[in-house]
Structure 1
Amino acid sequence: MESTYLKYQILKTISEGKEPHWLDLDLSKDEFGILIERLNEAAFLENATVTRGGQGYKVQFIHLKHSKVTNSGYKFIESYDK
């Protein structure tokens, strides 16, 4: 699946008050964690945490319970919906 579409799906789900899960998007935990990190870096998402550790510095935990879509994230959603 295209990365832009996946980012849209994640932001849209969070904007609806739901918590997205990597299995629902047919992704591995690491792939999902990378997308969450990119959304944080792009300032589309806030209060999302990706914890890495262990051999290979793999994603151990993704915490989205209190995450929120930012104004920039909503603009991204709107531009994708057009």
Structure 2
Amino acid sequence: MNRKKLLYSILKEIEQGNEPKQSDYELDDEQWGELAELIRSEGFARNIMIQYADDTVYYVGYHSAKITMSGLEFLEENNAFTKTYKGIKEVRDWLKL
């Protein structure tokens, strides 16, 4: 899967006030947790809740997430995706393009 597209989609949903969910992307717990960690560590969004159990991601929540200036810059730098991204309802097909 294209990680930049995944990041773009998650950040776009946060920007629009939506809460991305793992089931929207058909990712396993490890992949979902790694993406959340990446978004948080790169400073693309804040208020992402990540809970661990025995060093394994147990829960990721974006319900209070807010995009940052770095996140907005990422969206602008990857604005080529804007032409084809239709939102969370069609994200699985979009990721395959």
Equivalence for 1:63: 61
- Alignment gaps of 5+ in structure 1: none
Structure 2 portions without partners, runs of 5+: 81-97
Q: Give the TM-score of the pair, scaled to structure 2.
A: 0.76
1:73 matched to which residue of 2?
71
CA distance in 1, matches of 2:46, 2:2: 22
- Greater per-residue helix proportion: 2
Q: How many residues are paired up?
A: 80
When the two chains are superposed, the root-mean-square deviation of aligned CA atoms in Å is: 1.1
Mapped to 1, the partners of 2:76 and 2:22 lie a distance apart of 23
What is the CA-CA distance between 1:29 and the residue it aligns to?
2.1
Question: TM-score, normalization: structure 1?
Answer: 0.89
> How high is the sequence identity, in percent, across the aligned residues?
30
Alignment of 1:1-80 (within 5 A): 1-54=1-54, 57-80=55-78
Query: Following TM superposition, where does structure 1 have runs of at least 4 consecutive aligned residues deviating by more than 4 angstroms?
Result: none
**Greater relative contact order: 1 or 2 (C-alpha under 8 angstroms, separation 6 or more)?**
2
